[in-house]
Structure 1
Amino acid sequence: MRFGVLGSLTVWDSSGGQIPITETKVRAVLADLLAHHGRFVSADQLIEDLWEGRPPGRPRNTLQTKISQLRRALGAERILRSPAGYRVRVDDDELDAARFRRAVAEADRTEDPEARGRLLTEALDLWRGPAFADFADAAFVRAEAARLEELRIEAAERLAQVRIGAGQWAAALAVLRELVEENPLRERLHGLYMLALARSGRQGEALRVFHDLRVRLRDQLGVDPDPAISELHTSILRQESGSVPLPRVADRPRSNLPSPLTALIGRETESACVREALSASHGPRLVTLTGPGGVGKTRLAIDVARSLVADFRDGVWIVELAGMDRKATAADLAERVIATLGLCEGAADFAVDLVEWLRGALEGWRTLVVLDNCEHVVAQVAELTGALLAADGVRVMVTTQEALNVPGETVFALAPLTLPEHACGPEEMAASSSAVRLFVERAQAACPGFALTEDNAPTVATICRRLDGIPLAIELVAARLRALTAEQIAAGLDDRFTLPTGPGRGRPGRQQTLRAMIDWSWNLLTGRERRVLRRLAVNRDGCTLEGAQAVCADGTDVLDVLSSLVDRSLLVREGERYRLLESVAAYCLHRLEETGEVAEVRRRFIAFHAREAERRDPLLRGARQREALTWFDTETVNLRHALELAVRAQDAEAALRLVNAMAWYWVLRNRTAEARRSLQAALRLPGTASPARHAAGGWLAAFEGREHHQDGTAGEPEARLLWFTGAALYRGGESEAGRGRVEEALAHARKVGDRWTEAAALAERAGHRLDDGDVPASRADARHSAEIFRELADRWGLLRAHAPLARAAETEHDDPGLTDLLEEDLRAAEELGLWVDVITTLFRLGRLAAARGERSRARYLHERARQIAAERSYTPGVAEADAWLDQDRASAQDGAQPDACLSGGRTSAA
């Protein structure tokens, strides 16, 4: 029997005939199981995947019916069931996607160009259409289909490269032409296409390809083509393409900048000045944008930063500081920068000051860091920028209401938009006033058909003047055109500004204007809308619908209220999240304090995040690991705020619940400094002994690499803590204590049926036994661990289980099938964002390739590992890669092979 997913889902019998599976949900079950590479998929996950949140009545019975139908079609022995769920038994040679991957990997290991071309052709011939073509809209195959499509394009690029190298221009063009049309922004494809055209004598077409690519990149991304592509273009112009090597395009610089929902209006001059300052080779390295709330500092900073992405090879990053507590330290801010840039902070010694660590980590970088909304932590930001700017290639842009007043700072004070002149017509008014242009554009978005006319121009001018040209105020007013005319808005503003501004008094005039404007918008809301809006201000980083309902609702649904607030521009919707603008959030917090609801709303906020963190913590260990990591990543700012509020309220129970639920997330993300600080804060709160306090003490001890006295219970969390503590002690050099804790953990886990901890302890013990030289016992433990982790569909666990197997194979030059496992591990680590594991797995693959005599592949893998380690400031990884590469160069000169076992020593499961 054979299975096909490279195209529509198809199953063939042994004679080559198709096996009919016509019922849609039955086919969907098979597609889902195949997308999981033969791993077990839980019944809950299958139900969620198949019915996407709208399950039928008695969903498990319905699912079982579909499984039974699938078994009748394929044979009962093909669909296996266990406590972990269901899986389909498919050998690698029975699935076209597995055969495709294997052929591409074999091509990569092949030095002979002709053989490589043949293997790549065979691999690409397996494709019958887009992967999982008949389930293109299903979320459960989207990621796997995207990975397969990326591999297909990469294989096609390599095949074209082989054919260009062999002078087979027509064959190369046949591969590239369609791919270039399908991927209009993929630069390496365009470079290969240009080269094939030029070498086949079609220089004019090659130049047109470059021109079209440049236009698209500038229009859609705001960047120029990669220098390698521009160099190829120049060589074609000079008719030198025959001697130019195949283009090697670097990855597009990384960035976390959001995509603006609307165009930036009226800031052309300011944007150009700031951009010029930051891009000048000897220009200022610290630029601060100041101005009152609502004037558009963040919007301008993002616009400038997006235009400079191509200038900074290590990326352009925005770090949001609005959610930081006023009492936060510079180290707390440094931790936020480290997390945003994806650096491996957990590799640092816990005693290292994070500001100093960040200073060293960015040495040699060329990057732009935008520190946004800093007015409440100005002193701490001033200290942090000193560390950032110690690295010559780093530039910093800060948005704040007051300057930092540090040496080397260049301050751009952002003024409000230009106001209209008196007594001029609509066209002149729009041309001369950026405030009017902004009002008109936002008005047209709110009320299609709105236009600036002779009749309404004076009223629009009055509105813009009354609002002092403050962009946020103008946007809030323009949104009201859905319900009011321009004349009614102007009259309302006149009334509003004749009244005292209350708490706004004493502020600069434009700050009073903005507060009065938000006041006016507030007074137009219904009581229910005000209640929801002020309660939303407890969120530091937006919230989902569920989060909004948890803190805002009193037994009623709030979705219609949220939609209404979005329509009024008081709330911004970004995907599935709702977010208050900075100035609106500050106003709403004041309103919340006026009502006396603060304590209750904060209690709801803390309870919601504690409950959700506890609900998702188990998902970090199993099939839904990636989903859970994404949730924790997204909610990190709010989770930190919930913990701060719990500590401030002396709510030990909630604080301990939060830190215990987040502990394993901190492990996976290498957030050791945050883990220690948060656990210490929770444990300092007064309270009696409890299981939660004991668990938090255990986590803290393990993060600090020391013993923790157990209370004798044999529960599942206790077993996990024993294992984690043992692994940490062993890694820290306390081998005997570490071994003892791991053995205790294994016994506890088996006693209570904790399969996950049993597998983790087995993987750790496999490393211990390998250090003792007992390879058979080590392999037995590792394989047993891998078997359990595969049943549980825990991809992090498989990484740990495979580590001792890889080390044993390096020693004995024996790795049947291990390379395939490690390549699967590599994909998992990349998808989960586990960068230390990515680097470690690349080293393992490289050492195995060296042991097989595949020097070029081994060198490529070590170079890739070094690149990622440098990008993530993982110093041990850089040092290990350099040591191997140096030995490889020396061995090449001597005609020998480098030592495959270099740096293949002890590896901790923790």
Structure 2
Amino acid sequence: MDFRLLGAIEVAGQAAPLRRQERSLLAILLLRANEPVPPAELVDLLWPEDPPADARGSLQVYLSRLRKALPGVTITSSTAGYAVQVDPESIDVERFRRQLASARTESDPVLRADGLRRALDLWRGDPLADLMPQATRDRLSAGLVEEHAAAVEDRLDADLLAGRHEQVEGELADLVRAHPQRERLMAAWMTALYRSGRKAEALQAYKDLAERLAEEFGLDPAPALRRLHLAILRDDPGLRAAAAKRAEGTVPRELPVDISLLVGRDDLLADAVRVLTQVTPSHLTGAAGAADSAGAGGMGGAGDGRGRVAVYCLWGGAGVGKSAAGTRIGHLVAESFPDGQLFARLQDVRGEAVSAHALLGRMLRALGVQPGAVPASAADRAEMFRQRTESLAILLVLDDALDAGIVAQLLPTGPHCAVLVTSRKPLPELTEAVHRQVTPLDGPTSQALLTRLIGRTLRDLPTLDSVAEQCVGLPLALRIIGSRLALSGDDALQSIAQALVDDDQRLDSMVAGDLAVRTSLGRTLKLADPQARQLLERLSLVGITEFPSWVAAPLLDSDEVTGGNTFGRLVDLGLVELVNGQRYKMHDLVRAYAAEQLALAGDRDEPLGRYLQAVLRLAGLVDNRLPHGLTVAARLVVPDRPLLPAAESDAIAAPAAWMDDSWPLIRAAVFAGLQSGHPVEAAELALRLNGYCVIQALDDLRAEVLSAARAVVKESGPLELYVRLAFGLLPALPDLSPADRLAAGEELLDLSEQLGSVELQVRAMFHISIGANQSMDLDRAQEVMTKALELTEQPDGPDDLRVFVLQQLSIIAAERRDFEAGAGWARELHAMAPPGTISEGDGLLLLGENEIELRRYDDAMATLTRAADIYRAVGNDFTVARVQAMMALVASRTGDTTLARELLDQAIDWDRRHPGTNLMDLVELNEADLMMALGGVEESRRTRLRLAEKAGASGQLTLQHEIQRLVDTDPRDPANQG
């Protein structure tokens, strides 16, 4: 059968006539022949605005009719969608594309123009004419229309190269009138007019265009047009000389078709144009336009009298858009090289290097050397190429270079020649070249490119922004996703977004036709040496995208210097980004690919074990130096291997800063260990992170890692480790009811007794006392803590836990309203707590609270100020805010309501910036006291009653009772007087 879509749709050989919707469905399937199209996309395209109630049912009917009407054509169905299975040659769209590609390989402009004309003859009118709503037809055919326009322009250029300017002059005039915005057509028309002896008309055409662009868009004509205008003004003999040479068929024009949409590269383009031609297009002038002029070292462009060929190297990671930028640069400067432009890909389809021997042979033939006259050896071919280009102005574009050695063999010698090289890694051996890195696009530019690629506005803009972010600034990824969404629109947006955040689906979703991020990454990784490849694969074990340089040493089982050098080679390949001198970044797409490669290599457990030990050693060294005062992890042994001298020195020198930078890495290591058979290392890491979480009030993080570790260790780890994890977890659960806390403490006491550990028994008693206290069972709370105190005083007792027992005894005394006893316990706690630790701050805070109740307000304010200084010094901003709330109470009680308001506002501001803590209950309670001081009796009473009810609902009966006592006894409340 034969399918024609380039005009009204026609099907030769159909068994029955097709209705309009059936032909529309067939056209959609044929445009993606042999590729499944999801039903949701088909429904969206067939009924873009008002789908029938049973659209899927109607779709099934159309498919059934298509199968009957097209005997011999298979329409398959799968979970991925429906696909029509046909020979691509049976579709005129595919024949057009193949003939187009074949014609463009012709170096002879006559043969190229004739081949392009034959391809264009397949067009019978507007593609998909008479089908579907216009908006849908535009969505489906936009790419085809652009391909047609580019083919027409290529054919006209070839005709001009063949000396047919008089034959195409009239056609060009019609096309320019119909498409005044296409500057390439304008350039062809100006050239044809000039060569036909109509110089004034050519200049007037340029003037009209320049005025229209300035008036409507505020833009100048493109650089090529400006250079052409200047050449016409000067009667540049090159215009006619080039035409004569081209007529002989010896001038190659091999640049690939320019990409239709290139964003975010203006500075780079301006810099390249300047270096290659010494012309800076005004609309591309940017920061790079004047940069590095000294570094160019005389590598100006054609006609500037330089002494050597200009070489400009673009390098960057996979998918970053090097080739697209190189192609655009080639087109921008093409007119400065009238003897032609040569283009060569230095890798074959398998990513293997193409030999200089083969490349030189092809380029010599493109320059007019007869096949029989091409020398046999690579050296002789290189010599002939240098001789042939010595007096020419040739632009040579070498795409995807693997190494500088091959590039060096291909360089022309003519001082008016220029070479543009793209590579996945830097080529510093080309010492005379200007080197520029092509980097990923920033966020706003990525979003803008994706939106323009889709061609319309989608409804769910937040999800679209998330999709753009997942493409990590790679134009290749953005083009793949953009092409998929251009057809499917909103219906597929959610599924694409979900796939992009799933490591198992991320790379599978980055495929469209022959474009695939996985393929591009694979070609880049082939350039890596074995050690660099191994490091990249194992970096996926780290679990986050940004990490310090020391991670390489345990992953490779090497020293830190070797690891750092290996990182440098990955940076050169664009697979890893250097964030600063000691930190690197690997985006999620590369991480997903690295994980795939590691799974294929089957080399995971041993490097992961070494890595977890390294993280555990560093975290242990740091945790032991943090001023949190906690001891639940103090009895853990710091691993003695592996040794990382530089990393350990940095960590020990600034433990708090090290943990600020490293907690995401530790968290990821916890989950990597839990998921990969390393529960002990994971659990110990969770405990090492516990103290830092207390300092920073990171209760969510604390609960997450400790609960995950406890769940796994309960099934497969040591009982003692499970119990320690529980002790770390309980304080991180503020919503735990008193009854549940009491039950948890009882269970842990039983397990601690089974282990025979006095230390763990004391910890369990501490939690039992807290639960009893909150439940108003103050006698039991006192009894349990008295016994715990006795255990800490035994000769072999856990003396380091005495501070926590004293803390709880102070709280119980205050609940009994024995504030003198509470203050005494607090002073004893303060005296024995390690200086500068949270424990010392806790002692002062408790002392200050008791002093408030004893109405020793001056002492209380001084004590609380000292406590705030300690908490602030260790970075515990949450408790600083809590102390400020207590200081506000002192200020309120002493009549300084202005200071009270200021202190409460500071605490509220902290809570607003860190939602999710339990600080606001205390703030509101002390605000109620301030209200009372300011005469807002009713409002104060309402606030207190609400907080009492809230405490009772959560089971905190002691707190409820205390708040109610305030309501009933506050002497400032008239209801309590008389």
* TM-score, structure 2 as length reference: 0.41
Larger radius of gyration: 2
* TM-score, structure 1 as length reference: 0.44
